[in-house]
Each structure stands twice: as C-alpha cells, then as structure tokens.
Homo-oligomer: A and B are copies of this chain.
Amino acid sequence: MSTGLRARKKRETHHALSGAAMELVREHGLDHVTVHDIAAAADVSVRTFFNYFSCKEEAVVGVDQGVLDDLADDVCRRPEGERAIDTLRIVLATEDDSEAMVRRWQLRNELVRRFPALLPRHLATTNQVEEALAAALAARWSLDPAVDPRPRIFVAAALAALRAGLAWWEESDRTMPLGAVIDVALSQLVTDLPRSP
C-alpha cells in the first residue's frame, strides 16, 4: 500500500483537491465556485483536476476506492459466527472514530443539505459503500451475491436505519455518543410497521 513517493503525492493531491473543494463550496456556495478555483487552491492545473475527478460534485462528495477496500477488509476480518448486524455496527463505528473523520463527514452532510445539486453524486457514493459492504458480507458468509439478494437487502436496510439515526442525531443536542446512535438505529430494524392506532 504505497510507500512510494509517487503514490504518496497522488494521495496528497487527491486530498488537497477534495479538501479545497469542500472548503470553497462551504464558504462561497456551490455555484460560485468553479473548477478553476478548486484547482488553483490545490495548486494544480484545471486539466489535472479532471485527471482526479469527473466533475466538481465528485470532488466534494465522492469517496476514494481505498476507503471502500478498507471497509471490505475490515468486514472480512471479523470472527466466524458473528451476527451480520454486529459486524456492520463495529466496522462502521470504528471507521468513523477519528476526530478529523467525523468533522469531514459532518461537513459533507451539511453541504448536501445546503446544496441539493450534490444529492445525486452523494447517493452514488452511498451506493458504492453499500455495494462494497454487501459484497464483503456475502463473501464472509459464503453467499453468492449474484443469486442471493439478502446481503444487498440487509445492507440497504441497515444503512437506511443508520442514515435516519444519524440525521436525528444531527438535529439533537449531540450529547449521545455516536456509537450509541449507531447501536440504537441498527436495533430498530423492523420487518413491518405497527398497525395504525
């Protein structure tokens, strides 16, 4: 995994570009920031920007393939016999533990709320995460994802619960630890709604 100078520089440029994109959009608004601005802030040419991202939105809300690979590795390293829901809970909770990660994640959510034009690309990112997790779970549980739809369904439901729980947390006083929020959200997975009163 990249002890070379070349790979390190590439990661740095990627990080600088997405960081500059998020910061500039936060400060000036999505359509008052051009690709030219972002490239200038990261000190590369516009052409180089498009070597890393296919558009402005992807620089703001995209996800690096390396993160997806890490998630999949974490899932595959969980012990035999663990319940899938516990695997997800632990993997997702430990992924977002660093202070910088949490702040970056919060900023991204704020930007998606403020600028709905980011939503399509943001959902594509979410979808990539779901696919990666579903594939890893299927492999860990020795299921064929081409035939058995349950990993896909399970991950979609779990991440939907997670999204709902985290959205609630953002609007609350934010005193509850994030790990607890994840626990509560995943424990509320239901197969049906209660009858009307």
Residues of A near any B CB (own CB < 8 A): 80-81, 83-85, 119-121, 123-124, 126-127, 137, 140-143, 147, 149-154, 156-157, 160-161, 163-165, 167-168, 185, 188-197
- Our pick among B120, B154, B188, B192 for the contact of A193 (Cβ within 8 Å) is B154
Residue of A81, A143, A149, A152 with highest tally of chain B CB at under 10 A: A149
The answer on a CB contact under 8 Å between B142 and A196 is yes
- Our pick among B149, B163, B191 for the contact of A165 (Cβ within 8 Å) is B149
Question: Binding site of A, secondary structure by majority: helix, strand, loop or mixed?
Answer: helix
Contacts of A147 in B (CB 8 A): 168
Contacts of A153 in B (CB 8 A): 157, 160-161, 164, 188-190
The answer on a CB contact under 8 Å between B120 and A154 is no
- In the complex, the chain B residue whose C-beta lies closest to that of A125 is B120
Cα A147 to Cα B171 with chains together (Å)? 10
The answer on a CB contact under 8 Å between B80 and A196 is yes
